[in-house]
Structure 1
Amino acid sequence: MTIDDRALAFETALRRAGVRITRQRAALLRVLAATHDHPDATMLHARANEAGAGVSLATVYRTLSELESQGMINKVEFEGEPARFELADQRHHDHMIDVDTGEVMEFFNDRIEKLQAEIAAEMGYEIVRHRLDLYVRKLS
């Protein structure tokens, strides 16, 4: 999905929820649509304002909350960090969080996925959904 397509999908979801699309909010949606990392609300606020949006932090929070309730973005919370957000239209992945820098890295590993399914099956369950966060430190 292109940035324009994603921004339009965000806008459509917000309109469906009765949210007015102002120039500032449209600029914020475009910034959010272009993300490839896991920004928190203050990061998105700064990026949108760097792009000339002039959006308030309250608008950022309200917009993120509504997009989350519409299933367009996911809120992810890592220990000791403010809530971060990622696009909901991505394929499943897990996270590694560098405890020294706060950097969040996405990864997918077939062996881990298979092992989790095997463990659940051995205990008489199937996995409906899961999330794996690894807190890591660079080896010296």
Structure 2
Amino acid sequence: MRAPGRAMTLGDRVGVGGRGRRRPCPCAEDGAASVVAVSFVGVVVALAAAVVVVLLASLASQSAAHAADAAALAAADAVSGAVPGEPCALAAEVASRNGARLATCEVTGADALVSVVVDRGAISATAASRAGPAG
């Protein structure tokens, strides 16, 4: 405790010598910041996992679209006689080389319609494509 008229010193503020000791706060919020921090980290981890799943699905979808386009073009080339071979067999081979498997293959006139499936772990993407002469 300081004398009247005397300026407060650092010792008076922190309670040097046992004077002016602070009593512990009987507050109910002890440790609440830890709970909030752990909850925040949990939310961030969950959001990151969701973003990874969405990105993997997008990647599988794009891979399927590219494989379907290439397989349809290969089948259309075989139909037109530009390359030798059976159209659907060529489409299956091209799809396989692009990491997909051929699901369906239909040849109607000079048009080839194919669909492929790409499996990336638990994620599966399907795409279809048509190739043939313009018009």
Band of TM-score, shorter chain: under 0.3
Greater gyration radius = 2
TM-score (norm 1): 0.23
Structure with more helix by fraction: 2
RCO comparison, higher one (Cα < 8 Å, 6+): 2
